[in-house]
A and B are shown apart, each in its own frame.
Chain A
Amino acid sequence: MKASNVAKAVALTLSVAWAAGCSTTGGTDTGAAGTDTATDTASTQGAEVSGGVSAAELAAQKAADDAAAAAALQSVFYFDFDRSVVKQDGLAALEKHAAYLAATPSASVRLEGHADERGTREYNMALGERRAQAVARILQVNGVNANQIETISYGEEKPAMLGHTSESWAQNRRVELKYVSN
């Protein structure tokens, strides 16, 4: 009996840890990664020119600024249950991402589609892919080249938030847009 209590306590601690861990992940991490990449690129290019502010350096600075601006945009887009239509509130940010990507052919994104825990796992894999493709289509319609976009589905395997509430489900039905460093 005692042993099972210990097991329960451990289980509880673990789930709390999981939940706590999950709440720290999300769009902000992605943004930081994108910024890092951009800064790296900028500094390498800057090193080639010595003294004064060259045109190349200016261009590099602008590229870094643009990348940082794109990375700071909304990067998680939400969906209704068993649906793969991007919600209205995400469209403006997606158009800005598209504008940046269209103007920066060297930049590319990975679109990670997710589903909530309801429904079967492989069906949710398909649903996550549909959602990622729905975001990809919006980007393409707005001028982004298909080879700048990679889509992947995680189904319900990587929830952003644990818990069996409609709030966590809503948080988990998502596509995460992540800039990829080349």
Chain B
Amino acid sequence: MRLYKYIVAVLSVLLVSLPLKAELRIEVTQGVDKPTPLAVVPFSWSGSYGLAEDVAGVIANDFARSGLFRVMERNNMLSNPTRQNEVAFRDWRSLGQEFLVIGRMSAAQGDSVRVEYEVYDVIKEELILRDARVGSRNGLRDIAHVIADNIYEYLTGVKGAFYTRILYVTAQQLGPDNYRYQLRMADSDGARPRTILESKEPIMSPSWSRDARRVAYVSFESTRPAIYIQDLRTGQRQKVQSFKGLNGAPAWSPDGSKMALVLSKDGNPEVYILDLLKRKLTRMTHHYGIDTEPSWAPDGRSIIFTSDRGGLPQIYQMHLKSRTIDRLTYEGNYNGRGSLTQDGRFLAMVHRGDDNIFRIAVQDLKTSRLDVLTETFLDESPTIAPNGSMILYATQKGTRGVLGGVTLDGNVRFLLPDSQGHVREPAWSPYLQ
């Protein structure tokens, strides 16, 4: 409940400062069992010009979304310390806090800003982390996410994934037979959305290269589906596959040298692997059923795919060396779009159980236990954070398509509504360099 209040507070700050930007916003829809209480005090700023971003607010928001922390509401703070000698530990203890983050920002050379911050253990009254980051004043949100990652890793032992990006597709109808499809990229918290590609014809299935510098996607701009690769920095594009029939579901291999994809040039949707250097195409599946939605195991030695070869769509795994195929899912009458966590242990998927509702589920491949993580309907396109802590997915809110997030344990869910059109098909980037 408190977390919810806090989020509302953050929301109003966001709304006041950025009223017209069509950004994704966070609403926590469910609480956590035992989150760790943490306070992020507003950082001081000694520069002569105004800053466009609330760095401490961005950090606090990241922690709130992670589900592992209960972040203190600013209004309840008794003081706003920015240096160690200003910290009254007894106050923070009486407010129930376990960790305290404070910081100072100052103007550095050129257009740069220096952010110094410290993390304290309130119970032990100890400084546990001190660090400083310098970055462009236009990149303050990036600095904030890097700092959040650093603190998160220090406190949890798990690498943070806040300094990452997401791709997603939006669709709008502008008039009769007049559509606008956009491929968009935003920060992991949905902020700073920008358009990567715009088209009157559908755009689908965005996929990141492992260095996060290029994206592959399906575009119908030539009136037929074709797979393209686009360099995010230069905007340069390359058409990779445009056979007769389906050209879909591109997925980069972990080493970046290959791409799994789906073609129906032989009459039926089959999974292929394209060697991007040698331009060599190898057909991997041979079945009259539908084989689609390939994704790579993190070790690159197998691919996960969806097939209706057993009568209903289920998820299978093909070991690339032996070409042997194992069926992974048995629970439910429709399982698709499977992908594995970095440790290879959990399979995220779209799952339909006996209630015939499509939800996001996770299967522990060690124990075969399946957990349904979401409670909405028509949930699809799960994409896992590079640290395996969270899943983003597409869902419906009223008549609109929106993006939702859920922690892998299902304890915290949130929505990232984008006010522009129907939002779908999120793809979470790898760690940024």
A binds B: yes
**Chain B, residue nearest A11 (CB):** B400
Interface residues of A in 149-163 (CB under 8 A from B): 151-155, 157-158, 162-163
**Chain A, residue nearest B247 (CB):** A125
Q: Which residues of B contact A14 (CB under 8 A)?
A: 172-173, 421
Q: Is A17 an interface residue (CB 8 A)?
A: yes
In the complex, 16 of the A-B residue pairs with CB atoms within 8 angstroms, ordered by the A residue number, are A15-B400, A17-B175, A21-B177, A22-B173, A82-B308, A120-B306, A121-B337, A121-B424, A122-B262, A125-B204, A125-B292, A126-B292, A152-B225, A154-B202, A155-B204, A164-B399
B176 touches A122 (CB 8 A): no
Q: Is B392 an interface residue (CB 8 A)?
A: no
Stretch at the interface among B94-102, B126-134, B377-385: B377-385
Q: Is B62 an interface residue (CB 8 A)?
A: no
**Chain A, residue nearest B357 (CB):** A118
| A125, B204: Cα distance in complex, Å | 10
Query: How many Å from the CB of B126 to the closest CB on chain A?
Result: 41
| A51, B252: Cα distance in complex, Å | 67
What are the interface flags for A132-174 relative to B under an 8 Å C-beta threshold, 1 for contact and 0 otherwise?
A: 0000000000000000000111110110001110000000000
What are the interface flags for A1-33 relative to B under an 8 Å C-beta threshold, 1 for contact and 0 otherwise?
A: 101100100111011011101101100010000
A3, A122, A152: the one within 8 Å of B19 (CB)? A3
Residues of A near any B CB (own CB < 8 A) = 1, 3-4, 7, 10-12, 14-15, 17-19, 21-22, 24-25, 29, 82, 117-123, 125-127, 129-130, 151-155, 157-158, 162-164
Q: A10-B419, A122-B248, A123-B336 are in contact. Are A164 and B396 (CB under 8 A)?
A: yes
B202, B249, B381: the one within 8 Å of A157 (CB)? B202
| A88, B380: Cα distance in complex, Å | 32
Interface residues of B in 142-186 (CB under 8 A from A): 171-173, 175-179
A125 touches B248 (CB 8 A): yes
| A61, B339: Cα distance in complex, Å | 58
| A182, B400: Cα distance in complex, Å | 39
What are the interface flags for B373-393 relative to A under an 8 Å C-beta threshold, 1 for contact and 0 otherwise?
A: 000011011000000000000
Query: How many Å from the CB of B369 to the closest CB on chain A?
Result: 22
What are the interface flags for B351-383 relative to A under an 8 Å C-beta threshold, 1 for contact and 0 otherwise?
A: 000000010000000000000000001101100
Q: Is B52 an interface residue (CB 8 A)?
A: no
B292 touches A123 (CB 8 A): yes
**Chain B, residue nearest A162 (CB):** B399
Q: Which residues of A contact B400 (CB under 8 A)?
A: 11, 15
A120 touches B336 (CB 8 A): yes
A125 touches B176 (CB 8 A): no
A21 touches B175 (CB 8 A): yes
| A126, B260: Cα distance in complex, Å | 16
Q: Which residues of A contact B377 (CB under 8 A)?
A: 164
B246 touches A153 (CB 8 A): yes
**Chain A, residue nearest B250 (CB):** A122
A15, A122, A164: the one within 8 Å of B292 (CB)? A122
Beyond A21-B178, A119-B358, list 13 extra A-B contacts (CB 8 Å).
Answer: A4-B15, A15-B400, A21-B175, A119-B380, A121-B424, A121-B425, A122-B204, A122-B292, A125-B246, A152-B224, A155-B204, A157-B204, A158-B179
Q: Is B216 an interface residue (CB 8 A)?
A: no
A1, A118, A126: the one within 8 Å of B262 (CB)? A126
B224, B225, B249, B378: the one within 8 Å of A117 (CB)? B378
| A155, B292: Cα distance in complex, Å | 13
A129 touches B19 (CB 8 A): no
B178, B205, B313: the one within 8 Å of A119 (CB)? B313
| A120, B313: Cα distance in complex, Å | 10
Residues of B near any A CB (own CB < 8 A) = 12, 15, 19, 171-173, 175-179, 202, 204-205, 220, 223-225, 245-246, 248-249, 262, 264, 269, 290, 292-293, 306, 308, 312-313, 334, 336-337, 350, 358, 377-378, 380-381, 396, 398-400, 417, 419, 421, 424-425
A126 touches B290 (CB 8 A): yes
| A15, B419: Cα distance in complex, Å | 12
| A155, B381: Cα distance in complex, Å | 14
Query: How many Å from the CB of B215 to the closest CB on chain A?
Result: 16
B249 touches A17 (CB 8 A): no
B175, B246, B380: the one within 8 Å of A129 (CB)? B246
Q: Which of A3, A119, A126 gathers the greatest number of chain B CB atoms within 10 Å?
A: A126
| A133, B395: Cα distance in complex, Å | 30
**Chain B, residue nearest A22 (CB):** B173
| A119, B312: Cα distance in complex, Å | 11
Q: Which residues of B contact A7 (CB under 8 A)?
A: 417, 419
Q: Which residues of B contact A1 (CB under 8 A)?
A: 12, 15
| A127, B204: Cα distance in complex, Å | 16
Q: Which of B220, B292, B337 gathers the greatest number of chain A CB atoms within 10 Å?
A: B292
Q: Which residues of B contact A164 (CB under 8 A)?
A: 377-378, 396, 399
A121 touches B173 (CB 8 A): no
Query: How many Å from the CB of A48 to the closest CB on chain B?
Result: 33
A123 touches B290 (CB 8 A): yes
Q: Which residues of A contact B378 (CB under 8 A)?
A: 117-118, 164
Query: How many Å from the CB of A34 to the closest CB on chain B?
Result: 16
Query: How many Å from the CB of A106 to the closest CB on chain B?
Result: 21
Q: A151-B245, A164-B396 are in contact. Are A125 and B177 (CB under 8 A)?
A: no
